[in-house]
Amino acid sequence: MSTTPTPGADPCAEPARSGLGIDALRRGVLDNLVCLQARTPGIATPQDWYMALAYSVRDRMLARWAATIQTYAARDLRVACYLSAEFLIGPQLGNNLINLGIEDNARAAMRALGQDLDELLALEEEPGLGNGGLGRLAACYLDSLATLEIPSVGYGIRYEFGIFNQVIRDGWQVEVTDLWLQNGNPWEIVRPNVNYYVSFGGRTEMWHDEQGRLRVRWLPARMVKGVACDTPMPGFRVNTCNTLRLWKSEAIESFDLQDFNAGDYYQAVQEKVISETLSKVLYPNDEPEAGKRLRLAQQYFFVSCSLQDMLRLLDLKGEPIARFADMFTAQLNDTHPAIAVAELMRLLVDERLLPWDEAWDITRRTLAYTNHTLLPEALETWGLPLFSRLLPRPLEIIYEINRRFIDEVRQTFPGDEARVARMSIIDEAGEKKVRMANLSTVGCHAVNGVAALHSTLLTQTVLRDFAQMWPERFHNVTNGVTPRRFMLLGNPGLARLLDETVGEGWVTDLTRLRKLEAHLDDPAFLEQWRAVKRANKAVLAERIRHVTNVIVDPDTLFDIQVKRIHEYKRQHLNALYIITLYQRLRRNLEQGSVPRCFIFGGKAAPGYTMAKLMIRLITGIAEVVNNDPVTEGRLKVVFYPDFNVKNAQCIYPAADLSEQISTAGKEASGTGNMKFMMNGALTIGTLDGANVEIREEVGDENFFLFGLTAEQVERVKREGYRPAHYVEGNAELREVLDLIAGGHFSRGDSQVFRPLVENLLHADPFLVLADYADYVACQARVSEAWTDAARWTRMSILNTARSGKFSSDRAIGEYCERIWNIDPVSIGLDRESAE
Ligand SMILES: *Cc1c(COP(=O)(O)O)cnc(C)c1O
């Protein structure tokens, strides 16, 4: 950076690249507009201004980022590597401004340049590199890791196309390609010199080296190069700026010269195309899809690059391989990175020539596994033929791991061959498969569930045998979400009120919100609280009008269910209630009825027919209800398209009621439930996932509970679920189902919803009809509570006040203490590197 002042410039002025003041920011933006966008203010488009501002914010992170990397490289410390196939990080500009503490100055600087910060924020493309909760969790954890000053790196895949954009056409979901990179990505720094080769296919052979050791050589059919693409992850008001390192695949050479010389141009280009396909697209399913070769290749690709990167950093530090587990720990976010168990063994045994036992000790001490699901159909497996063709050497290693593991099981439980078959990493029944959850559990020193109920059920169901063998290996770490993005950024009105009421410290110590309880009897405070919520609802109402043309009234109860569309999440149970309410209103039967606006949002996996039908049912109900003069002013239904992080940030703060109505035992934790709670919504929910802990924290008098418990669900299933039984005794339910089946919500077409109604009546594993009556009764209690505005407001305040446990800072603190054994490291900024 030049130290020579511009002639005539104020010698005391802050540098344009690092200064945090308004004038430095203004000059920095102007410089970047010219130097990076090649535009003068006179002809700059809003996109140019957005890019210039984003680069200026990035400039201000670079010294911190470099100092952070330098500190991790120089000091004897342990780095937490968070391995995840998905990072749903959301737009970066607003969050970075907040974490750097320069939002107000940036707003003023842009105003001085004739630009509106909010308009520029709205322009940012969202990196949709995840499907939903799992990917968003990884992003919240990166924010907390940096804020808590934990040495850490996020490792994943730089998908060229993230999750599809959802549009609604004729009431149906239509998927539109996500072109998030089309205008360039100002946050990313590509590091072509940080690259690794990853092998695929081919065969293995044994050989003896010069020392006479028996070795294995993998002769791959092809190799792909992974290139590091880094994104800075600044902590909140600390110097720490961690790295999200995503791998992009490239062909090793542009053309296979031999083919090219032989004149086969297309064959030569083919290899390149295949290699570049690897990081092309995110699989848009919440659950694994059977037998997708490319997906297994993606998993191996990013895991191998990440582990090779960790080994290179160890070498750079001059540390011996024996210290690997002291320098690194790697958390596997679900089984998507489970192949790390085999790949770390391969790198240590085949390439670093460690004896098996020593390599196994390092591998197990390094890796830890987070389980995210109890649904047996969502546990990842890979068919053996596919696996052996794609990854022949890792498979051999898995066989050796399994052979030794099974010996251990037989020693611990002699004569119990049924147990051996259940625990084996290879499923030998029918078509043989590799079970990734078993591989993870065997190869990791710690296994955790993501909410108390989930962790308990884990040790009683899918991982029961393992919990009996190694009880000390099992933990719970209840999920959390970052209050920086979901309160400070998404709900600035609330944040201001909280600052004034309990002081600013709540942002990094969310338990301080408890102090709100001292203000429950202050009518002025209740009034301010209501005003904040009212304003957030008005903002959402305006967006709903803009996007869907539906007019909703911010004074009605905003009843919101936003999350992936899934049968186990039971958006259709909510839909059945809306129809019930509609019928009652039409007959003037609803006593104490309160005007409600039901808002849905969420994507369905493109191949998940039932989920797409559930969307169609909601839009069909909206079409009828919103156009019926009888219910005008009393009932509105909205499907808000394209639920993503950007939309989420303004939806959660506008909610009065949070719908968390999954079949008990099916939702591992949920994190949407926590975001609603923090923003003062009341929950109607089942005893599932983190709902249990939310209710514990807020008190059962402030939570609308309904439905079967996980235990009751299992009992009903054991004894035989008979949906007809619930219809026979309930004329209202009968009528609702008849209306759907008769085409009332499908423009008279009685075929459309047939599969959905048939499913509810004959083949529903999620027991929708069993919970219907209790849900309807519980919604009546919600309505009743709403009619007492002061009571509702107090309950709303209590939800925020008691949400402290659900900060991702608490969750990351628990990972550090119980699983990773890592302490914070503060990053020093000497004056020179700070400028
Ligand atoms: C929080 C969040 C989710 C997860 O929601 P659940 O209600 O926990 O399923 C999914 N998508 C986005 C965009 C989110 O922000």
pLDDT in tens, 525-543: 999 999 999 999 999 999 9
CB-based contact 393:198 (threshold 8 Å): no
**Residue 501: CB atoms within 10 Å:** 18
Residue type, 243: T
Q: Where would I find the H helices in 102-213?
A: 103-112, 117-123, 133-147
| pLDDT value of residue 438 | 98
Q: Is 372 one of the annotated active-site residues of the chain?
A: yes
Residue 341 makes CB contacts below 8 A (sequence gap 6+) with 363, 367, 398, 401, 439, 440, 442, 443, 444
**Ligand 1: residue whose CA is nearest its atom 12:** 132
Domains of the chain and CATH, by start: 16-75+101-125 (no CATH), 76-91+126-477 (3.40.50.2000), 483-545+556-817 (3.40.50.2000)
H or E, element range at 683:
strand 682-685
| pLDDT value of residue 762 | 96
| pLDDT value of residue 3 | 43
C-alpha 135 to ligand 1 mean position (Å): 9
Residue 773 makes CB contacts below 8 A (sequence gap 6+) with 726, 730, 733
Q: In whole angstroms, what is the distance from residue 509 CA to residue 804 CA? A: 8
Residue 582's SS3 state is helix
Q: How many CA atoms lie within 13 A of 510 on its CB side?
A: 27
In the DSSP assignment, the letter for residue 657 is E
Ligand 1 atom nearest the C-alpha of 643 is 13
* Full 3-state SS string of 660-671: ECCCCCCCCCCC
Beta-bridged to residue 140, according to DSSP, are none
**Ligand 1: residue whose CA is nearest its atom 10:** 132
Q: In whole angstroms, what is the distance from residue 25 CA to residue 18 CA? A: 8
Using 50, 70 and 90 to split pLDDT, how confident is the model at 260? low
| pLDDT value of residue 2 | 42
For residue 530, what are its two tokens?
Answer: 């209501």
Residue type, 31: D
pLDDT in tens, 169-193: 999 999 999 999 999 999 999 999 9
CB-based contact 530:648 (threshold 8 Å): no
| pLDDT value of residue 262 | 58
Q: Of the residues 248, 295, 433, 564, which is catalytic? A: 564
Query: In this structure, what are the phi and psi dihedrals at residue 831, rounded to the nearest 5 degrees?
Result: -55, -40
Residue with tokens 């919103």: 626
H or E, element range at 429:
none
Determine the longest span between alpha carbons in the chain, in angstroms: 90
Using 50, 70 and 90 to split pLDDT, how confident is the model at 378? confident
Ligand 1 atom nearest the C-alpha of 645 is 13
Which one, of 401, 199, 214, 399, lies nearest residue 304 by Cα? Answer: 199
Lowest-confidence pick of 252-266, 649-663, 717-731: 252-266
What's the length of the chain? 835
Which one, of 171, 45, 49, lies nearest residue 110 by Cα? Answer: 49
Q: What is the mean pLDDT of residues 304-317?
A: 97
CA–centroid distance for 323 within its chain: 32
**Statement: residue 627 has pLDDT above 90:** yes
* Full 3-state SS string of 505-552: HHHCCHHHHHHHHHHCCCHHHHHHHHHHHHHHHHHHHHHHHHHHCCCC
Pocket of ligand 1 (CB under 6 A): 132-133, 136, 563-564, 643-645, 648, 670-672, 675
Q: In whole angstroms, what is the distance from residue 495 CA to residue 679 CA? A: 10
Ligand 1 atom nearest the C-alpha of 652 is 15
Q: Each residue of 673-700: b (16+ CB within 10 Å) or e? A: bbbbbbbbbbbbbbbbbbbbbbbebbee
What is the best residue among 287, 671, 683 to mutate for testing ligand 1's pocket, by most ligand atoms within 8 Å of CB?
671
| pLDDT value of residue 395 | 98
What is the best residue among 563, 599, 651, 806 to mutate for testing ligand 1's pocket, by most ligand atoms within 8 Å of CB?
563
Q: Of the residues 372, 616, 634, 744, which is catalytic? A: 372
**Statement: residue 728 has pLDDT above 50:** yes
User: pTM (2 decimals)?
Assistant: 0.96
Q: Is 646 one of the annotated active-site residues of the chain?
A: no
CA–centroid distance for 809 within its chain: 16
C-alpha 136 to ligand 1 mean position (Å): 7
Residue with tokens 């919500």: 745
Adjacency order of strands within the sheet including 426-427: 381-383, 433-435, 426-427
CB-based contact 264:244 (threshold 8 Å): no
Q: Is 675 one of the annotated active-site residues of the chain?
A: yes
**Ligand 1: residue whose CA is nearest its atom 7:** 672
Using 50, 70 and 90 to split pLDDT, how confident is the model at 4? very low
Ligand 1 atom nearest the C-alpha of 673 is 7
Ligand 1 atom nearest the C-alpha of 670 is 8
Share of the chain above pLDDT 90, in %: 91
Ligand 1 atom nearest the C-alpha of 90 is 13
For residue 247, what are its two tokens?
Answer: 């791998």
Q: In whole angstroms, what is the distance from residue 450 CA to residue 373 CA? A: 9
C-alpha 564 to ligand 1 mean position (Å): 7
Which one, of 671, 644, 658, 674, lies nearest residue 574 by Cα? Answer: 658
Q: What is the mean pLDDT of residues 85-99?
A: 98
Q: Of the residues 484, 563, 596, 603, which is catalytic? A: 563
Per DSSP, which regions of 164-221 are E strands? 165-169, 172-176, 189-200, 203-208, 214-219
C-alpha 479 to ligand 1 mean position (Å): 12
Q: Dihedral of the CA atoms 715, 720, 721, 727 (nearest 10)?
A: -130
What is the best residue among 564, 640, 688 to mutate for testing ligand 1's pocket, by most ligand atoms within 8 Å of CB?
564
pLDDT in tens, 810-835: 999 999 999 999 999 999 986 444 43
Which one, of 802, 542, 573, lies nearest residue 708 by Cα? Answer: 573
**Ligand 1: residue whose CA is nearest its atom 9:** 563
Residue 632 makes CB contacts below 8 A (sequence gap 6+) with none
Q: Of the residues 240, 508, 619, 671, which is catalytic? A: 671
Q: Where would I find the H helices in 587-690?
A: 609-625, 645-651, 672-678
C-alpha 411 to ligand 1 mean position (Å): 44
H or E, element range at 241:
strand 241-251
Q: In whole angstroms, what is the distance from residue 297 CA to residue 200 CA? A: 8
Q: What is the mean pLDDT of residues 576-591?
A: 90
Q: What is the mean pLDDT of residues 359-375?
A: 96
C-alpha 301 to ligand 1 mean position (Å): 27
C-alpha 633 to ligand 1 mean position (Å): 30
CB-based contact 506:513 (threshold 8 Å): yes
C-alpha 475 to ligand 1 mean position (Å): 23
Q: In whole angstroms, what is the distance from residue 764 CA to residue 725 CA? A: 13
Q: In whole angstroms, what is the distance from residue 559 CA to residue 617 CA? A: 17
How wide is the angle at C-alpha 52 spanned by C-alphas 827 and 21, nearest 5°? 55
- The CA-atom distances, in angstroms, between 160 and each of 127, 186, 687 are 10, 15, 39
C-alpha 133 to ligand 1 mean position (Å): 4
| pLDDT value of residue 289 | 74
C-alpha 797 to ligand 1 mean position (Å): 22
**Statement: residue 591 has pLDDT above 90:** no
pLDDT in tens, 731-783: 999 999 999 999 999 999 999 999 999 999 999 999 999 999 999 999 999 99
What pairing do the DSSP bridges indicate for beta strands 367-370 and 152-157?
unpaired
Using 50, 70 and 90 to split pLDDT, how confident is the model at 270? low
Residue with tokens 């993230």: 162
Q: Where would I find the H helices in 626-730?
A: 645-651, 672-678, 691-698, 710-719, 723-728
Q: Is 734 one of the annotated active-site residues of the chain?
A: no
Q: What is the mean pLDDT of residues 432-436?
A: 97
Q: How many CA atoms lie within 13 A of 631 on its CB side?
A: 29
Ligand 1 atom nearest the C-alpha of 644 is 13
Ligand 1 atom nearest the C-alpha of 481 is 1
C-alpha 492 to ligand 1 mean position (Å): 20
Ligand 1 atom nearest the C-alpha of 133 is 4
C-alpha 672 to ligand 1 mean position (Å): 5
**Ligand 1: residue whose CA is nearest its atom 11:** 132
Q: Of the residues 364, 393, 473, 675, which is catalytic? A: 675
**Ligand 1: residue whose CA is nearest its atom 6:** 672
Ligand 1 atom nearest the C-alpha of 562 is 7
Residue 736's SS3 state is helix
C-alpha 613 to ligand 1 mean position (Å): 20
**Ligand 1: residue whose CA is nearest its atom 8:** 670
**Ligand 1: residue whose CA is nearest its atom 4:** 133
**Ligand 1: residue whose CA is nearest its atom 15:** 645
For residue 500, what are its two tokens?
Answer: 């004034």
CB-based contact 697:805 (threshold 8 Å): yes
Q: In whole angstroms, what is the distance from residue 172 CA to residue 458 CA? A: 36
**Ligand 1: residue whose CA is nearest its atom 3:** 133
| pLDDT value of residue 255 | 52
Beta-bridged to residue 635, according to DSSP, are 596
| pLDDT value of residue 1 | 39
C-alpha 602 to ligand 1 mean position (Å): 9
**Statement: residue 272 has pLDDT above 80:** no
- The CA-atom distances, in angstroms, between 625 and each of 57, 390, 634 are 47, 53, 10
For residue 545, what are its two tokens?
Answer: 């009008």
Q: What is the mean pLDDT of residues 336-365?
A: 98
Using 50, 70 and 90 to split pLDDT, how confident is the model at 12? confident
pLDDT in tens, 701-724: 999 999 999 999 999 999 999 999
Using 50, 70 and 90 to split pLDDT, how confident is the model at 471? very high
Q: Is 317 one of the annotated active-site residues of the chain?
A: no
For residue 355, what are its two tokens?
Answer: 């004896």
Q: In whole angstroms, what is the distance from residue 442 CA to residue 435 CA? A: 11
What is the best residue among 88, 126, 136 to mutate for testing ligand 1's pocket, by most ligand atoms within 8 Å of CB?
136
Ligand 1 atom nearest the C-alpha of 569 is 9
| pLDDT value of residue 551 | 97
Q: Of the residues 27, 484, 569, 596, which is catalytic? A: 569
Q: Is 478 one of the annotated active-site residues of the chain?
A: no
Q: Mean pLDDT score of the chain, rounded to an integer? A: 95
Q: What is the mean pLDDT of residues 400-417?
A: 98
| pLDDT value of residue 835 | 39
**Ligand 1: residue whose CA is nearest its atom 1:** 672
CB-based contact 829:548 (threshold 8 Å): no
Q: In whole angstroms, what is the distance from residue 447 CA to residue 737 CA? A: 43
What is the best residue among 86, 88, 491, 650 to mutate for testing ligand 1's pocket, by most ligand atoms within 8 Å of CB?
88
